[in-house]
Amino acid sequence: MVITAELVKALREKTGAGMMDCKRALQETDGDMEKAIEYLREKGLAAAAKRAGRTAAEGVIEAYIHLGGKLGVLVEVNCETDFVARTPEFREFARDIAMQVAAANPQYLTREDVPAEVLNKEREILRAQALNEGKPEKVVDRIVEGRLEKFYSENCLLEQPFIKDPDKKVRDLLAEKIARIGENIVIRRFVRFQLGETQ
C-alpha cells in the first residue's frame, strides 16, 4: 500500500508523534490507522510527543573529556523536574549525548537549525554531482533530496545514528527516554572543543 502524505499528516495530528515515526508506523501496519496508533503507543512515541510541549527548565550540563584532554564536550540537557535531573538514568543519557557529540562531531542540533545558505550551497553541490554523474535532469531533484538526508544524518545531532546502537537515531533514543522517564526532555545545546582547532 502507498503511504500518502495526507495519511501521515492525519496520524501525526491524532498522536502528536513525529512525521517519520508516523510514516514508519503506517508502513509497519499497511496503512491501518488504528493499528498505527497502537504501534506508536507501544513504542511510547505518541505519549512522548504530547510531553514535548511541557516546559523543561531543570537538567544538567554534562562534560565529557576524551583523548587525554585533547577533545572536550559540554552539553545541556533539560527536563521538567530537579528530581529527574538527579536520577542515574537521566545523567547517563546526558553523558551518552556528550559522547555522541565527541564522536560524531555534529554541526547542528536539528535539521531546522541548518542555515538556509548552508542548505542552498549543499543543494547546489549535490545537484552538480548528480549531473556530473550523468543522471537524467528529471530525477536530479529527487536524488538531491535523498542525498540531503545523508547530509542531515551526518551534521544534525538528532538525525545521527546513535554511537552505541547505530540502528537507532539520537531522536529515537530521546523519544524512548521521554516515554520511559515520563517527562519532557530537551537537548538544549552543545559545544565541542578540539585542541588546536580553529573556528
Whether 29 and 64 map to the same domain: the answer is no
Residues found in the chain? 199
Whether 105 and 172 map to the same domain: the answer is yes
If 0-12 CB within 10 Å is exposed, 13-18 middle and 19+ buried, where does residue 126 land? buried
Q: How far apart are CA 56 and CA 45, in angstroms?
A: 18
Whether 24 is in a domain gets the answer: yes
Whether 128 and 166 map to the same domain: the answer is no
DSSP 82-121: HHHHTSHHHHHHHHHHHHHHHHH--SBSSGGGS-HHHHHH
Question: Given the C-alpha cell 542548505, which residue does it identify?
Answer: 119
- Structural domain total, the chain: 3
Pairing of strands 71-79, 186-194: antiparallel
Whether 148 and 160 map to the same domain: the answer is no
- pTM here is 0.70
* Maximum CA extent, the chain: 58
Whether 96 and 69 map to the same domain: the answer is yes
Domain containing 122: what range? 115-155
Whether 40 and 126 map to the same domain: the answer is no
Whether 199 is in a domain gets the answer: no
Please list the alpha-helical segments (H only) found in the chain. 5-15, 19-28, 33-43, 45-51, 82-85, 88-104, 116-132, 137-155, 170-181
Whether 166 and 151 map to the same domain: the answer is no
Whether 151 and 162 map to the same domain: the answer is no
CATH number of the CATH domain containing 12? 1.10.8.10
Whether 101 is in a domain gets the answer: yes
Please report, in tens digits, the pLDDT of each residue of the chain (199 residues total).
788 888 888 887 776 677 778 888 888 888 888 888 888 777 766 555 555 556 677 899 999 998 788 999 999 999 988 899 999 999 999 999 999 999 999 999 999 999 999 999 999 999 888 888 888 888 888 888 889 999 999 999 999 999 999 999 999 999 999 888 888 899 999 999 998 876 5
CATH number of the CATH domain containing 70? 3.30.479.20
CA 55 to each of CA 50, 81, 197: distance values in angstroms, whole numbers, following the listed order: 12, 10, 36
